[in-house]
C-alpha cells in the first residue's frame, strides 16, 4: 500500500486532511477549526508522504516531525499522523486502539468547557451569569461530571471589567493580555469561583481555565485562596495557548506553593517539550492536545511517561471537531490510569455530525463515551453528504 495523495480542505471552517492510497482506502485527520491558515502548511508536506506506506506510521513521521513546532505549527504534523493511524487501522480491519496496544477501559470520561460545548462556549464575567451557564451544563442530558470554565485572562474580564489588571487590554483574544491583577480584579475572580462552587454543589467537578497571563505572585496567591474549594485544576495560569515556551521553573514554584492542582500543556509540541515539566514535577496535571503535540501516539507516550512521576493527564481538544473526537476516544481507551478525562470536542457547525459515518447517535452518556470497534479512528466522512459543503477550491477533495 502506498500513499498517492494528500489533500486538505476547509469544511465548515475546519481544516480536514485526507490521505489517499493506491488501494482505494482513505485516512482522515482533523485540525482545530480556528486554524484555516494551516492548510498551506499541510500541503507543504505532501511531497514527503506521497509514495510511503501509511501502515509504517513512525517511518512517515520521521520525515515530517521536524516540520512542526509549538502551537499552532504542530497541528499540520499532528493531523497527518491522525490520518496515518486511520489508514493503518482500516488496512488491518482493526480499531485504532488495538494498534496502540489495546484498550484498558470500555468507556472514556469527557469534560465540557463552559456551557454545552457542542453548541457554543460562553464565558460571562459576573457570578450571576456564570451560575446560569453552569446550571444549564449540570442539567444537560449528557451528564457531564467535569465542567471547565474560563476565568481571569481566559475570559472577557480584561476587557469588560474596568481596572481588572495593571495594564491596558490589548485587542484580540483575552489570553494575549498579562500582568498583575488589581485587588478589585483578584477579588472578582474569587467571587466568581465561589459562585461556581455554590452552583455545582457537588453535582460536578469544577476546573478553571485561567490564562495564560497571570503574574507568578498572583497565581500563587490565587491557588492558595482556592485551597478551601474542591477545584479539580487551574489551567494555564502562566503559559499556555499562544505561548512559545514551557515555563518549567515558574510552574514548579507555583505547584510547590499550593495544594490546588496546576495544569498546563496544550501548546507544547512533542514529548521533548514535556520532559522537564514532568521530570521536575513542575505540574500536577498535563493537558497536551493530540492535534498540536505531534499526534495520537505521541500523546500516549507522554501519558505513560507522566505516570512514572505521578502526574495526571487531561488532554485538551475542544476545537478538534467530530473526527478529532473519534480519534480521542480511540487513543484515550489505551492511556494508563493517570487519565482523568479528555475535553469534549465541539463541531464548528451544527451539520458537521451529519456528514460523519460510524459514530454512535447518543454519544455522551453519564459523562462518558463508549469505545466503539469500527476500523481506524472509528469514523469517516460520507462523501456524498460532504460534497455540498466543499468550497469551490476544494471540489477535488475526494478525487
pLDDT digits (tens, 9 = 90+) for 228-276: 999 999 999 999 988 999 999 999 999 999 999 999 999 999 999 999 9
Residue 118 in this model has a pLDDT that exceeds 70? no
pTM above 0.85, yes or no: yes
Q: Is the pLDDT at 166 greater than 90, yes or no?
A: yes
pLDDT band at 337 (very low <50, low <70, confident <90, very high): very high
φ and ψ of 179, to 5 deg = 145, 175
Residue 81, C-alpha cell as written in the block: 499522523
Beta strands in 145-290 (DSSP E): 146-150, 205-209, 231-235, 262-264, 285-286
Q: How many CA atoms lie within 13 A of 321 on its CB side?
A: 32
pLDDT at res. 116: 46
pLDDT of residue 172: 82
Average pLDDT rounded to a whole number, residues 27-31: 98
**Direct distance between the N- and C-terminal alpha carbons of the chain, in angstroms, rounded to an integer:** 18
pLDDT at residue 121, rounded to an integer: 45
CATH fold of 3-93, please?
Enolase-like; domain 1 (3.30.390)
The radius of gyration computed from the CA coordinates of the chain, to the nearest angstrom, equals 21
Looking at domain 98-380, its CATH superfamily turns out to be Enolase-like C-terminal domain (3.20.20.120)
As a whole number, mean pLDDT of residues 126-134 equals: 87
Give the orientation angle of helix 296-308 with respect to helix 321-332, to 10 degrees.
Answer: 40
Instruction: Give the least confident one: 128-142, 303-317, 352-366.
Output: 128-142
Q: What is the mean pLDDT of the chain?
A: 95
Q: Tens digits of per-residue pLDDT, 58-96?
A: 999 999 999 999 999 999 999 999 999 999 999 999 999
**DSSP track, 281-308:** T--SEE---TTTTT-HHHHHHHHHHHHH
Task: State residue 115's pLDDT score.
Answer: 47
Return the percentage of the chain with pLDDT > 90, whole number: 87
| pLDDT for the residue numbered 120 | 38
The three-class DSSP label of residue 9 is strand
* Amino acid 131: pLDDT: 87
- Segment 287-292 mean pLDDT: 98
Q: Give how far the C-alpha of residue 326 lies from the chain's centroid of Cα atoms, to the nearest Å.
A: 13
Quick check: do 3-93 and 98-380 share a fold?
Answer: no
| pLDDT tier at 124, thresholds 50, 70, 90 | low
| Span 167-197, pLDDT tens digits | 999 888 877 899 999 999 999 999 999 999 9
Relative orientation angle of helices 216-225 and 183-200, to the nearest 10 degrees: 30
Check: CB of residue 91 under 8 Å from CB of residue 304. no
Domain edges within the chain: 3-93, 98-380
Amino acid at each position: 500500500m502506498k500513499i498517492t495523495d494528500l489533500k486538505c480542505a476547509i469544511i465548515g471552517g475546519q481544516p480536514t486532511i485526507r490521505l489517499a492510497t493506491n488501494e482505494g482506502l482513505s485516512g482522515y485527520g482533523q485540525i482545530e477549526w480556528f486554524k484555516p491558515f494551516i492548510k498551506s502548511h499541510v500541503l507543504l508536506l505532501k511531497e514527503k508522504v506521497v509514495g510511503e506506506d501509511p501502515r509504517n506510521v513512525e517511518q512517515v513521521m520521521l520525515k515530517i516531525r521536524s516540520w512542526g513546532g509549538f502551537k499552532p505549527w504542530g497541528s499540520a504534523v499532528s493531523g497527518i499522523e491522525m490520518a496515518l493511524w486511520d489508514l493503518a487501522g482500516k488496512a488491518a480491519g482493526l480499531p485504532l486502539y488495538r494498534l496502540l496496544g489495546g484498550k484498558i477501559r470500555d468507556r472514556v470520561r469527557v469534560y465540557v468547557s463552559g456551557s454545552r460545548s457542542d453548541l457554543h462556549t460562553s464565558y460571562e464575567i459576573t457570578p450571576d451569569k456564570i451560575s446560569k451557564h453552569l446550571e444549564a451544563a449540570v442539567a444537560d442530558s449528557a451528564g457531564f461530571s467535569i465542567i471547565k470554565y474560563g476565568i481571569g485572562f481566559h475570559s472577557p474580564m480584561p476587557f469588560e471589567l474596568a481596572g481588572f489588571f495593571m495594564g491596558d487590554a490589548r485587542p484580540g483574544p483575552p489570553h494575549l493580555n498579562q500582568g498583575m491583577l488589581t485587588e478589585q480584579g483578584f477579588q472578582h475572580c474569587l467571587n466568581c469561583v465561589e459562585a461556581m462552587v455554590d452552583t455545582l454543589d457537588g453535582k460536578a467537578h469544577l476546573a478553571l481555565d485561567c490564562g495564560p497571563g497571570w503574574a507568578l505572585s498572583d497565581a500563587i496567591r490565587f491557588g492558595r485562596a482556592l485551597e478551601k474549594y474542591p477545584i479539580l485544576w487551574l489551567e494555564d495560569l502562566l503559559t499556555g495557548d499562544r505561548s512559545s515556551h514551557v515555563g518549567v521553573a515558574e510552574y514548579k514554584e507555583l505547584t510547590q506553593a499550593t495544594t490546588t492542582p496546576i495544569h498546563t500543556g496544550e501548546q507544547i509540541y512533542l514529548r521533548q517539550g514535556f520532559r522537564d515539566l514532568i521530570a521536575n514535577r513542575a505540574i500536577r496535571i498535563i493537558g497536551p492536545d493530540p492535534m498540536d503535540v505531534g499526534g495520537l501516539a505521541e500523546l500516549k507516550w507522554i501519558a505513560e511517561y507522566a505516570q512514572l512521576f505521578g502526574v495526571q493527564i487531561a488532554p485538551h481538544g475542544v476545537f478538534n471537531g467530530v473526527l478529532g473526537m473519534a480519534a480521542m476516544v480511540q487513543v484515550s481507551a489505551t492511556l494508563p490510569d493517570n487519565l482523568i478525562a479528555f475535553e469534549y470536542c465541539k463541531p464548528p457547525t451544527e451539520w458537521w455530525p451529519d456528514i460523519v459515518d460510524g459514530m454512535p447517535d447518543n454519544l455522551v452518556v453519564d459523562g462518558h463515551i463508549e469505545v466503539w470497534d469500527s476500523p481506524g479512528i472509528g469514523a469517516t466522512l460520507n462523501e456524498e453528504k460532504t460534497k455540498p459543503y466543499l468550497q469551490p477550491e476544494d471540489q477535488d477533495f475526494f478525487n
